[in-house]
Amino acid sequence: QVQLVESGGGLVQAGGSLRLSCAASGRTFSTYVMAWFRQTPGKEREFVAAIGRSGGTTDYADSVKGRFTISRDNAKNTVYLQMNSLQPEDTAVYYCAGRPGIFFSKSARDYNYWGQGTQVTVSS
């Protein structure tokens, strides 16, 4: 069982930056593909970014490419999401997710473990 705890959300003006962190419990963090999703009221959870077990492979949603960077530190059992040039449409609850194995997925249904979410609000 893996427990995930996100932090780092908040209120920021358009054009600003935030860095989200997701701390994982357990000794198997390095065997998980990790991802970030986001969700707004009334909408399905949306893929943002994913990172492979060693951190050498990443994937991004088109809407965040060039602005967001996902990274991980397996020694600290933590995955990060650096968000730059934030826009009001980035406003959402951001969730950290993990799945064992090596394959990436952009579907929330494929992830076994989830954090509680952290709110990101971007004002115009």
* Cα–Cα distance measured from residue 97 to residue 14, given in angstroms and rounded to the nearest whole number: 26
Tens-digit pLDDT profile for residues 27-85: 789 999 999 999 999 999 999 999 999 999 999 999 999 999 999 999 999 999 999 99
Secondary structure in 3-state letters for 14-83: CCCCEEEEEEECCCCHHHEEEEEEEECCCCCCEEEEEECCCCCCEEECCCCCCCEEEEEECCCCEEEEEE
**Does 25 score more than 80 pLDDT?**
yes
Proportion of the chain above pLDDT 90, given as a percent:
93
Which sign, positive or negative, has the C-alpha torsion 103, 104, 107, 108? positive
Q: Given this model, what pLDDT does residue 2 score? A: 86
Q: Given this model, what pLDDT does residue 68 score? A: 98
Proportion of the chain above pLDDT 70, given as a percent:
100
At residue 22 the predicted structure's pLDDT band, cuts being 50, 70 and 90, is very high
Cα 68 to the chain's mean position, in Å? 10
**Does 12 score more than 80 pLDDT?**
yes
At residue 104 the predicted structure's pLDDT band, cuts being 50, 70 and 90, is confident
**Does 1 score more than 80 pLDDT?**
no
